[in-house]
Structure formats: structure tokens, C-alpha cells
């Protein structure tokens, strides 16, 4: 029997779909990326700018069908029956993550009712808000899975996930508490900037960034942002770090820079903020294990390696899971924890005041004989 994990991150490059078996560790049986149409991506990106509530509700429904289709395509491709799937863990598509406002919330769309109806499989979704209801930030949630999958009693390791935003999980080999948090932008500013200037979805291998030269004045200006020095636990999103944020900082600099030099500086910003966080909180740790799409950005990986001379830098591929499947596998695991009625947050990571069970369950109606 299997679980399926579904994830669409801030980069919106595709829906990650993972077919998973669980034994002592997660075993990936199959992984595919289900493409998202450009029109859908644009609708999601415009939600906070000009969409009405009706637009958001329509998009929630539309994405429900797209996510369901991603599951059904996987089942067809792997010759797997829905009866062999215990549950689907669907993260959905984040359209708002606001963990620091008075009435904090986090909203993901892709209607789980539709996914359930279209697949005939139990769906677990809405993982973040129960943690928030108990005082947490609802993120990062992957730290608990990182502990399950990668904790090593013989060495202290850092799991670094570089998606749209970067987050780290510190897994000490002793019984010290696990901590984790968002370090700041990962790929999001790089993706947005190359989309605006080159109409490309992402900077493959960091090639465009490598054609430019980082500007130290701009880098120092960006590093002044209070988020980077704020205490943990903390999490962030594109509501905070976006092109408007970049525009404001460029205006403060009052200096003309080429687009490629800005891209080079944004890449260095990701590298510096990631490694500053690791050096501050993971002194004495020996290894950094990287996952997420950023693991494939050769220039970003080289920047991180150059800044972490005291650490061995590897990827999750060395541990049996490709870097781009980790988040989808995480939400399959979170679905498993929900059906077992077991807590799956780590209060020292999210800031919640207790361990809580995460996610709502949407089950298909059983046919009567």
C-alpha cells in the first residue's frame, strides 16, 4: 500500500507528484512532474494584485482538477489502482502566507474535495493552519520529515531546502532540540527577475547570473533587511520578498545596474543568507545535505560550497531521494501521520506552543452494496 504526495511551490514550475511506500524510511516508488499551464501560473501570481474573491475561488476549483489529473496520470503511468493508495497528501498552491500578522493565516488552494472526488482516494490537506492556531508560524513543516528520513546519531547534519525560499533543519546527533527556519529567498527573486527580463521561468544552472557581476553595494543594501537578523523561529513568503521589495531597495541605492548584474547579486544574496544562517546556528555540524530545485543551480551550489569551507556539502541524491522530490514526499508522510492521528509539527521549529496533529481529512463516500 502506498501514499501519494503533491506539492506545488512558490516557483510554480510544476506539480511534484510522488508515489511513496513507508517502511523504516520513505521509499520513493515513482516521481513525476506534472506541468502547469502558463495561464494558470499567471493567475496565481496575480492573486495578490488584482484578483477578486470570485477569481480566487474559481482558481481553487480549477487547480483541484489539475492536481487530481496529476494523480490520475501517475496512477495510469505506474499501473497502480486507487485501491492501492491509502491517502494523498496535498500541500496545494500557496497564495498567502502571513505568519506574523495579528490574525495569522496561511492559504493554499487546489480544492481537496475535488481531488478526492476525481481520484476516489482519501485526501489530507490544509496542513499549516492547525500549527498556527496553536501559536506557530505554520512553517517550516518539512523539518519533522527531515528528522524521520535523515537524522544520523553519529553526525550532526543540516538539511538545506532551496525552493522559492530557502529553509534549513538542524539535526544534531545528540538529544539537543531540532531547530529549523526560513533563511530568506532561495530561487524566488532569481526566477521573478529572469521572467521579467528574459521571459524565462528560471535561470538554468545560474548561467545568466554567471554572465553578470555581483554589485557589493546592492548586496549590502539587501542584507540590511530586518528579516535576516530577526530571531528564530521565523518563516517568510513572496508577500514579503518579491520584485517590489527589490525595486524599493534599488531606488534606495540610486544607481544604474545591468539586469544581469542584478541577477548575479540576487544569487549571491541567496548564497550569503543561507550560509550565514548555517554558520550561526550549526557550528560544529559536519555536513549540509541540499534538496529542492536550487540543488540544480550549479552557480548557487558552488557559491554555497565556497562559503561553507568547514562543511561537506552533498545533496539528498546521496541518500536515495532526488532533491526535487523531497517536498512531495514530505506531504505524503504528513498524510500518513494525520491518518495515524500523530502530531507532525516541531514546536521548536514553528513556534507552536505544543505538538499538534496537522491536516484535514477528505474521504470519498463509500458505495453501498
- Three-state SS at 22: strand
Q: CA 183 to CA 225: how far, in whole Å?
A: 12
In the chain (369 residues long), the average pLDDT of successive 10-residue segments reads: 93 90 96 90 78 88 97 98 98 92 94 98 98 96 96 95 96 91 97 96 96 98 98 94 96 94 98 98 96 96 98 96 96 98 97 97 75
Alpha carbon distance 229, 243 (integer Å): 21
State the pLDDT at residue 367.
52
Residues 6+ apart with CB under 8 A from 324: 16, 31, 33, 291, 292, 293, 295, 296
DSSP state of 161: E
The cell for 176 is 539537543
Q: Tell me the domains of the chain and their CATH numbers.
A: 2-139+325-362 (3.30.420.40), 142-323 (3.30.420.40)
User: Quick check: 236 and 165 in contact, CB under 8 A?
Assistant: yes
Residues 358, 367: Cα–Cα separation, whole Å: 28
- Taking the whole predicted model, whether its pTM rises above 0.85 is answered as yes
Amino acid at each position: 500500500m502506498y501514499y501519494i504526495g503533491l506539492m506545488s511551490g512558490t516557483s510554480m514550475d510544476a506539480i511534484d507528484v510522488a508515489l511513496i511506500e513507508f517502511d523504516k524510511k520513505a521509499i520513493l516508488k515513482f516521481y513525476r512532474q506534472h506541468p502547469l499551464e502558463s495561464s494558470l501560473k499567471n493567475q496565481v501570481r496575480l492573486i495578490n494584485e488584482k484578483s477578486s474573491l470570485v477569481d480566487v475561488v474559481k482558481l481553487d476549483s480549477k487547480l483541484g482538477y489539475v492536481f487530481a489529473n496529476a494523480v490520475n496520470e501517475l496512477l495510469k503511468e505506474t499501473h497502480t489502482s486507487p485501491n492501492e493508495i491509502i491517502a494523498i497528501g496535498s500541500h496545494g498552491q500557496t497564495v498567502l502566507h502571513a505568519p506574523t500578522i495579528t490574525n495569522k493565516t496561511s492559504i493554499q488552494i487546489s480544492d481537496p474535495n475535488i481531488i478526492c472526488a476525481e481520484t476516489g482516494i482519501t485526501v489530507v490537506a490544509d496542513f499549516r493552519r492547525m500549527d498556527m492556531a496553536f501559536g506557530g508560524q505554520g512553517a517550516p513543516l518539512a523539518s519533522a520529515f527531515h528528522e524521520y528520513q535523515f537524522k544520523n546519531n553519529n553526525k550532526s547534519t543540516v538539511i538545506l531546502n532551496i525552493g522559492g525560499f530557502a529553509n534549513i533543519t538542524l539535526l544534531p546527533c545528540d538529544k539537543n532540540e531540532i531547530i529549523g527556519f526560513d533563511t530568506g529567498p532561495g530561487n524566488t527573486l532569481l526566477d521573478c527577475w529572469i521572467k521579467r527580463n528574459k521571459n524565462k521561468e528560471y535561470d538554468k544552472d545560474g548561467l545568466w547570473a554567471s554572465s553578470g557581476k555581483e554589485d557589493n553595494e546592492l548586496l549590502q543594501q539587501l542584507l540590511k533587511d530586518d528579516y535576516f537578523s530577526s530571531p528564530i523561529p521565523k518563516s517568510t513568503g513572496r508577500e514579503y520578498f518579491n520584485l517590489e521589495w527589490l525595486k524599493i531597495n534599488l531606488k534606495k541605492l540610486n544607481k544604474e545596474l545591468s539586469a544581469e548584474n542584478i541577477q548575479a547579486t540576487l544569487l549571491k544574496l541567496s548564497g550569503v543568507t543561507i550560509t550565514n544562517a548555517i554558520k550561526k546556528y550549526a557550528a560544529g555540524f559536519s555536513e549540509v545535505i541540499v534538496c529542492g530545485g536550487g540543488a540544480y543551480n550549479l552557480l548557487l551550489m558552488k557559491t554555497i560550497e565556497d562559503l561553507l569551507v568547514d562543511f561537506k556539502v552533498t545533496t539528498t541524491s546521496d541518500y536515495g531521494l532526488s532533491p526535487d522530490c523531497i517536498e512531495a514526499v514530505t506531504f505524503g508522510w504528513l498524510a500518513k501521520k494525520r491518518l495515524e492521528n500523530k502530531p507532525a509539527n516541531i514546536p521548536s521549529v514553528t513556534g507552536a506552543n505544543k505538538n499538534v496533529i496537522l491536516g484535514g481529512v477528505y474521504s470519498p463516500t463509500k458505495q453501498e452494496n
